[in-house]
Structure 1
């Protein structure tokens, strides 16, 4: 397994355990303390998502057999993180509702009936605004996730292209080595041929001289 993946995994496990404890603590709090704890948990969720993306990118760069095991593990981590998100949403919804209700009760109008109707209207308006805000946040988060997925896909493509370029570079380097060896062999063969030509020429010259001497002595 990759050392980089293991380091990210340790960080995520520690962070996930910490988030679960803080969610449990937030459920027992009220008011501003609860809001602050929920805000801390949301920040931790963003960090956990960042670690999951890093682990996903690292896992996809490994061998297929290791990659399959790590991706299965990542699916479990994503499921755990979704459970934490669901819990945070539940805590946030309860907190927002109570906050809106407290604001309505603090208005304190003299006429009870008028105050009750006004509180209901304000509660409905607050709920509607919260729903619109939640929808906008969901859309923004969806866009962000799509952008992140696109970025991960681009990084994977770049990694594959890098591997292809490295393979091509190694192939060219091997071809250069083969060409160099072939060149040295041809040079060596050429030298041997030249040397053999000189030797054959020298032998022919000696034979010609010997034949000439034999003919000379015979004729004489």
Structure 2
């Protein structure tokens, strides 16, 4: 197990628990309709602050998951498989938190719309309220579209990140293969050099043996010639 991964994992678990508590606290701020204007305003401001803190925490959680993903993919295959399985659970947990935040934001917008309707007058406020509701719906739709675009952008960024990690791994494997091939070639060169020296020595010995055999033959020929000479001379 990677100590770096465990460090990121601990940070994420603590952050996830903290975000869950903040979501629960933001839900408690929904409540019913408050009778006093100042109390209602204060509650909405507190909820906005909570939502802002939760969104910042979600960004931090995503960064931790990306770090864990990069760390896991750099490890050995058997360890990497276990860590990636845990990482999928953390990603699922993060998606659940995002869904909860989206629901809270939607509830907050609906609460704001109800407050504006209740604050309006009795006679001529129907048309105004309708316009405000339309504007709120359009704003909500724009927010949803923006959130979807951001989500798509993050998805593309993560896919690009994963592709980059995969390419780095492939390059590392190719580098190892080239180094192994280079070492093999060096070994072959050494063996060829040794073989060349052995063949050179063998050639020299063969040449020396040829000269020695030639000399012996010459001596034998001379001896035989002398023997024949002396025999014929008698």
TM-score bracket for the superposition, by shorter chain length: 0.7 to 0.9
Counterparts in 2 of 1:3 and 1:164: CA distance versus 1, 3 Å = farther
The aligned counterpart of 1:98 is: 111
Superposition TM-score, scaled by structure 2 size:
0.77
Superposition TM-score, scaled by structure 1 size:
0.81
- 1:179-194 alignment, distance < 5 Å: 179-194=189-204
User: Which one has a bigger Cα radius of gyration?
Assistant: 2
Match of 1:152 among 135, 139, 162: 162
Indicate if the aligned counterparts of 2:9 and 2:68 stay in contact, CA closer than 8 A.
yes
- 1:7-22 alignment, distance < 5 Å: 7-22=7-22
Question: 1:176-209: CA deviations, max 9, x gaps?
Answer: 2123212222222212321332244135325524
Match of 1:81 among 80, 83, 94: 94
Indicate if the aligned counterparts of 1:56 and 1:71 stay in contact, CA closer than 8 A.
yes
Q: Distance in 1 between matches of 2:14 and 2:191?
A: 57
In structure 1, stretches of 5+ residues that fail to align are none
Match of 1:57 among 61, 70, 82: 70
Range with greater deviation from structure 2 (30-39 or 203-212): 203-212
Q: Runs of 4 or more off by more than 6 Å in structure 1?
A: none
Q: Classify the secondary structure of the residue corresponding to 1:112.
A: coil
Q: Distance in 2 between matches of 1:15 and 1:163?
A: 36
The aligned counterpart of 2:184 is: 174
Indicate if the aligned counterparts of 1:59 and 1:70 stay in contact, CA closer than 8 A.
yes
Question: 1:100-127: CA deviations, max 9, x gaps?
Answer: 4445656x6xx63113431332123222
Range with greater deviation from structure 2 (74-83 or 8-17): 8-17
The aligned counterpart of 2:25 is: 25
